[in-house]
């Protein structure tokens, strides 16, 4: 039998057992700064080479291309394609720019896509460790390597987005702004801050007796929601869903209305019945009418069934910084949820 002991979230010995994972989260901002600084010279070279002409299209290749798609699709002034599968689109050629994120540099599918891009004469910019399989396949006349060290998807993405912004193909994702947003979350969610003033610990307590439904309205917030739900599943072994409003609404609408007479310690069936859902809203400040309408429908459905709603917000200066802030807050909450779950 498992149960949640919230006292462990402020217990020094329990926190010490999770020190490595929590320290890794706390260093997120430092990794972004370090990777941006290490790649600055190579980024300048890549920007200089790109001054000749704007590409016909931008292709983000490899399994980590989905993050670039979430950032670039609403902004990129030329056609943009994310290609997470093997190889490249059949039409890709010398007029196109292929960008690749390879945080650990060892994925064979990514290396194959990079080699194909070089063979076709595409402009190629790869962010990966310089001593890696992907880097070896990126060697070519029209290729530029942006060197990274940490196996960190976000830090690697910020390096690439900095380049794309400087050549007019992406929005501003200033590394200092992203790093500061991550540092702010690390301070607010520090294990040394007690439950009463720690948003991640409070969120973990809210998730302890529920199955989370995680929703983000904008494209980036929705991606953060999927990553947070994945972290919750991995840390707790519990169901956690993330999706668009039309995917989560049926779950909320099928939830039994809360019975105010049920013993909360016995569960709604009287014997520790099924966990009820809790709606977790990741709010990055998007004010699109569709986002407002979907959020209103979700809130109304939750209110009608007595489902709790927890909101995580961010006021960071850029879209990427707000994404990073929401993601890190949710990941901290997942780690505190892991810490609080104990087995008899």
Check whether 271 has a pLDDT greater than 50.
no
pLDDT, tens digit (0-9, with 9 covering 90-100), for 211-268? 999 999 999 999 999 999 999 999 998 899 999 999 999 999 999 987 766 655 554 4
Encoding tokens for residue 148? 């990274």
Residues contacting residue 36 through CB under 8 Å, at least 6 positions apart: 155, 158, 159, 162, 175, 179
The three-class DSSP label of residue 124 is strand
Residues facing 61 on adjacent strands: 83, 100
Q: How confident is the model at residue 269 (pLDDT cuts 50, 70, 90)?
A: very low
Which pLDDT belongs to residue 268? 44
**Phi first, then psi: what are they for 319, rounded to 5°?**
-60, -45
Angle between helices 319-340 and 175-188 (to 10 degrees): 30
CATH node for 2-18+193-343: 3.40.50.10490
Check whether 60 has a pLDDT greater than 70.
yes
Check whether 117 has a pLDDT greater than 90.
yes
Check whether 15 has a pLDDT greater than 70.
yes
Distance from chain centroid for Cα 195? 24
pLDDT, tens digit (0-9, with 9 covering 90-100), for 303-332? 999 999 999 999 999 999 999 999 999 999
Encoding tokens for residue 163? 């380049």
Which pLDDT belongs to residue 116? 96
Percentage with pLDDT > 90 across the chain:
87
Please tell me the CATH superfamily of domain 30-177, with its number: Glucose-6-phosphate isomerase like protein; domain 1 (3.40.50.10490)
Classify residue 106 by burial, with Cβ atoms within 10 Å: 0-12, 13-18, 19+: middle
Q: Among residues 49, 324, 88, 44, which one has the least CA distance to residue 185? A: 324
> What is the average pLDDT score of the chain?
93
Instruction: Kindly list the domain boundaries of the chain, sorted by start residue.
Output: 2-18+193-343, 30-177
Q: Among residues 72, 53, 145, which one has the least CA distance to residue 102? A: 145
Which pLDDT belongs to residue 261? 63
Distance in angstroms (rounded) separating the CA atoms of residues 196 and 6: 12
Check whether 91 has a pLDDT greater than 70.
yes
Encoding tokens for residue 12? 């020094």
Q: How confident is the model at residue 129 (pLDDT cuts 50, 70, 90)?
A: very high
DSSP labels for 267-333?
A: -TTSSS-PPEEEEEEEE-----HHHHHHHHHHHHHHHHTT--EEEEE---SSHHHHHHHHHHHHHHH
Q: Among residues 76, 308, 324, 119, which one has the least CA distance to residue 203? A: 308
Whether this prediction's pTM lies above 0.85 is answered by yes
Which pLDDT belongs to residue 220? 95
Of 145-159, 234-248, 270-284, 286-300, the range with the lowest mean pLDDT is: 270-284
Which pLDDT belongs to residue 272? 38
Neighbour tally for 273: CB within 10 Å = 12
Classify residue 199 by burial, with Cβ atoms within 10 Å: 0-12, 13-18, 19+: middle
Q: Angle at Cα 80 formed by Cα 139 and Cα 88, nearest 5°? A: 45
Distance in angstroms (rounded) separating the CA atoms of residues 123 and 144: 8
What's the full length of the chain, in residues?
344
Check whether 52 has a pLDDT greater than 80.
no
Distance in angstroms (rounded) separating the CA atoms of residues 182 and 28: 6
The three-class DSSP label of residue 83 is strand
Same fold, 2-18+193-343 and 30-177: yes
Are 3 and 344 in contact, with CB atoms under 8 Å apart?
yes
């Amino acid at each position: 039998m498992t149960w949640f002991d919230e006292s462990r979230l402020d217990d020094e010995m329990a926190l010490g057992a999770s020190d490595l994972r929590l320290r890794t989260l706390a260093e997120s901002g430092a990794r972004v700064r370090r990777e941006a600084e290490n790649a600055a010279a190579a980024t300048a070279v890549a920007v200089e080479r790109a001054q000749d002409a704007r590409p016909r299209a931008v292709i983000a290749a490899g399994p980590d291309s989905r993050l670039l798609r979430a950032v670039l699709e609403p902004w990129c002034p030329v056609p943009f394609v994310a290609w997470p599968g093997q190889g490249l689109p059949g039409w890709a050629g010398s007029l196109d720019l292929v960008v690749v994120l390879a945080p650990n540099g060892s994925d064979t599918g990514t290396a194959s896509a990079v080699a194909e891009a070089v063979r076709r004469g595409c402009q190629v910019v790869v962010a990966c460790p310089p001593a890696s399989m992907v880097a070896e396949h990126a060697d070519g006349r029209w290729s530029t390597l942006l060197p990274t060290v940490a196996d960190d998807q976000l830090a690697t993405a910020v390096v690439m987005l900095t380049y794309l912004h400087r050549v007019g193909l992406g929005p501003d994702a200033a590394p200092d702004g992203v790093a500061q947003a991550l540092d702010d979350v690390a301070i607010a969610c520090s294990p040394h801050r007690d439950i009463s003033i720690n948003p991640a610990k409070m969120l973990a307590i809210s998730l302890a007796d529920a199955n989370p439904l995680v929703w983000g309205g904008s494209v980036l917030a929705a991606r953060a929601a999927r990553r947070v739900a994945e972290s919750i599943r991995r840390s707790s072994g519990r169901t956690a869903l993330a999706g668009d409003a039309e995917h989560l609404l049926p779950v909320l609408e099928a939830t039994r209305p809360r019975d105010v007479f049920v013993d909360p310690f016995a569960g709604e069936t009287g014997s520790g019945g099924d966990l009820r859902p809790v709606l977790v809203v990741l709010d990055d400040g998007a004010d699109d009418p569709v986002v407002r309408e979907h959020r209103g429908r979700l809130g109304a459905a939750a209110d009608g069934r007595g489902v709790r709603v927890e909101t995580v917000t961010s006021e960071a200066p850029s879209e990427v910084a707000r994404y990073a802030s929401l993601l890190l807050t949710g990941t901290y909450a997942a780690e505190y949820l892991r810490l609080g779950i104990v087995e008899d």
